[in-house]
């Protein structure tokens, strides 16, 4: 049996949520009501409707996206149902050799004009925009009407209880002039309706939003294709950058030392008979150079795929990484099975990137790494006691980390208030769970 305290809380919370839903979904109808009022104020002649109609149309277009964003946020916060927005992102804007800017549709003199033109074109042709407009037209007639029941019941109750006090003016004066008993009865009924409907009146918002705001299967598939196309481009760019890094490391490091090693051996061979002491010194230098080259090659191989990761798995590789880190790092893991090698490599280098950031940018002393299994997949959390303030910047390490995980449909959440701590939560779906 429900406790009285919880029931009162349910009524109170439900009434507040119903009022919020009513205000949010009635914003656009309020714009149209204001337009009609303005038209009537101007006399209601056949040509005075143009300006109010344009004002109402522009207001609807401008309010539809903010209203739908608020609705998605409310549904996610109150029910845990995530409704993807599915808005299309504008493409890149590039500057041509002529000095003009090309946004995929038109040439503009400045980057600002190119971005503005592109934003409007993208929004106008985005199916999500038309979903938002459809929702703003349907929501007031469905979720809005039901959400209005508790406030309307409360208003009736206030007028009913206040009728006798105001001399029977509240409801036309027919019954109230005879002592107000009918007004009190109406007030009681209004209060009963408000209290009974409050816990449930806001709940239709979730099915209505899920039905009319969620992208259709065809739209979701098209968005998924666009997302995969972008991920493929990111992977191609990342692979090209990695190949250039390996080539640069080989050219500047091991290759140069091996060339010097060959020259030293050739010189020592020539000096062996005439100057054996100088030849022996060159051989010692060559041996040291060979050892250095071997170390650089091992470091290079470790940067591509650490041997401990390949041989012993993700957990032991992270523990080895924690031992090499200058931070006081602890590793807590709840994994008994090996993951796919690409996923292990992605998680390993993501954690390595976070520890490096904690040392270089956060001035941290300690870090904690945890790996847990979840229904959603592998959950990896990295937390440091640094100064916080970490942000995702375009082209930065955290943006690259997100791209690395996005290849596997992974997500990365970052919480880093000023003063710390910084907590990064990575979730990678695993079908083998």
Beta strands in 205-316 (DSSP E): none
Query: Where a domain ends, among 302, 320, 352?
Result: 302
Q: In the chain, which residues have pLDDT < 50?
A: 166-170, 172-179
Alpha-carbon separation of residue 325 from 320, 358, 359 (angstroms): 9, 10, 9
Q: Is residue 328 part of a domain?
A: yes
316 and 347, same domain (yes or no)? yes
Q: Helix (H, G, I), strand (E, B), or coil: what is residue 87?
A: coil
201 and 229, same domain (yes or no)? no
Structure tokens at 208: 């209505």
Domain harbouring 317, CATH code: 3.30.565.10
Query: For 43-98, what is each residue's pLDDT tens digit?
Result: 766 667 778 888 888 888 889 999 999 999 999 889 888 888 878 777 667 777 67
Beta bridge partners of 367: 329, 384
Burial call 155-174: b when 16+ CB within 10 Å, e when fewer? ebbebbbebbeeebebbeee
Question: pTM score, two decimals?
Answer: 0.54
Domain harbouring 275, CATH code: 1.20.5
Q: How far apart are CA 319 and CA 408, in angstroms?
A: 23
Q: Is residue 65 part of a domain?
A: yes
35 and 179, same domain (yes or no)? yes
222 and 347, same domain (yes or no)? no
262 and 321, same domain (yes or no)? no
Q: What's the pLDDT at 2?
A: 55
Structure tokens at 374: 């979840």
- Give me the domain span that covers residue 335: 309-428
Q: What's the pLDDT at 176?
A: 45
Q: Is residue 104 part of a domain?
A: no
Q: What's the pLDDT at 169?
A: 46
Query: Where a domain ends, among 302, 319, 347?
Result: 302
Contacts of 365 (CB under 8 A, 6+ apart): 327, 328, 385
Q: Helices 149-162 and 4-25: crossing angle, nearest 10°?
A: 110
Sequential DSSP letters for 117-172: HHHHHHHHH-HHHHHHHHHHHHGGGTHHHHHTHHHHHHHHHHHHHHTGGGTS-TT-
Q: Is residue 367 part of a domain?
A: yes
Task: Please name the residue that has the structure tokens 């798995």.
Answer: 313
Alpha-carbon separation of residue 55 from 58, 116, 130, 395 (angstroms): 5, 22, 19, 41
Q: How far apart are CA 331 and CA 341, in angstroms?
A: 20
Contacts of 357 (CB under 8 A, 6+ apart): 390, 397, 398
Alpha-carbon separation of residue 224 from 84, 85, 88, 215 (angstroms): 12, 13, 11, 11
Query: Where a domain ends, among 213, 234, 266?
Result: 213
Q: Is residue 154 part of a domain?
A: yes
Task: Please name the residue that has the structure tokens 């050219």.
Answer: 251
320 and 282, same domain (yes or no)? no
33 and 150, same domain (yes or no)? yes
Query: How many domains does the chain fold into?
Result: 3
135 and 265, same domain (yes or no)? no
Report the relative pairing of strands 366-374 and 328-333 from DSSP bridges: parallel
Q: Helix (H, G, I), strand (E, B), or coil: what is residue 335?
A: coil
Structure tokens at 360: 């270089």
292 and 320, same domain (yes or no)? no
Structure tokens at 95: 């500057």
338 and 421, same domain (yes or no)? yes
């Amino acid at each position: 049996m429900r406790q009285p305290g919880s029931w009162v809380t349910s009524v109170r919370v439900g009434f507040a949520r119903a009022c919020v839903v009513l205000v949010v979904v009635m914003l656009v109808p309020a714009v149209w009501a204001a337009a009609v009022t303005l038209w009537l104020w101007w006399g209601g002649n056949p040509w005075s409707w143009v300006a109010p109609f344009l004002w109402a149309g522009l207001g609807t277009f401008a309010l539809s996206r903010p209203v739908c964003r608020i609705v998605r946020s409310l549904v996610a916060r109150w029910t845990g149902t995530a409704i993807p927005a599915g808005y299309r992102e504008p493409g890149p804007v590039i500057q041509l050799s002529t000095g003009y800017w090309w946004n995929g549709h038109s040439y503009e003199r400045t980057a600002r004009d190119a971005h503005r033109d592109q934003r409007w074109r993208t929004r106008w042709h985005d199916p999500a925009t038309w979903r938002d407009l459809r929702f703003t037209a349907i929501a007031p007639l469905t979720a809005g009407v039901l959400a209005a029941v508790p406030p309307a019941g409360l208003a009736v109750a206030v007028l009913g209880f206040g009728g006798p006090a105001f001399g029977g003016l509240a409801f036309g004066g027919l019954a109230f002039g005879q002592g107000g008993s009918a007004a009190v009865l109406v007030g009681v009924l209004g209060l009963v309706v408000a209290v009974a409907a409050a816990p449930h009146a806001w709940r239709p918002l979730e099915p209505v939003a899920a039905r009319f705001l969620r992208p259709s299967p065809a739209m979701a598939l098209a968005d998924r294709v666009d997302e995969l196309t972008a991920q493929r481009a990111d992977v191609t760019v990342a692979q090209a950058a990695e190949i250039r890094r390996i080539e640069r490391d080989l050219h500047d490091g091991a290759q140069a030392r091996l060339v010097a090693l060959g020259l030293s051996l050739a010189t020592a061979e020539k000096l062996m008979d005439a100057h054996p002491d100088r030849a022996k010194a060159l051989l010692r230098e060559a041996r040291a150079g060979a050892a250095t080259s071997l170390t650089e090659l091992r470091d290079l191989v470790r940067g591509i795929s650490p041997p401990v990761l390949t041989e012993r798995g993700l957990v032991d590789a992270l523990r080895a990484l924690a031992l090499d880190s200058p931070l006081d790092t602890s590793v807590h893991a709840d994994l008994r099975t090996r993951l796919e090698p690409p996923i292990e490599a992605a998680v390993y280098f993501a954690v390595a990137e976070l520890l490096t950031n904690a040392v270089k940018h956060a001035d941290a002393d300690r870090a904690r790494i945890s790996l847990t299994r979840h229904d959603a997949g592998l959950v990896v959390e990295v937390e440091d006691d640094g100064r916080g303030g970490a942000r995702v910047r375009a082209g930065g390490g955290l943006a690259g980390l997100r791209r690395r995980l996005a290849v596997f449909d992974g997500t990365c959440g970052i919480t880093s208030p000023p003063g710390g701590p910084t907590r990064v939560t990575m979730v990678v779906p695993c079908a083998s769970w």
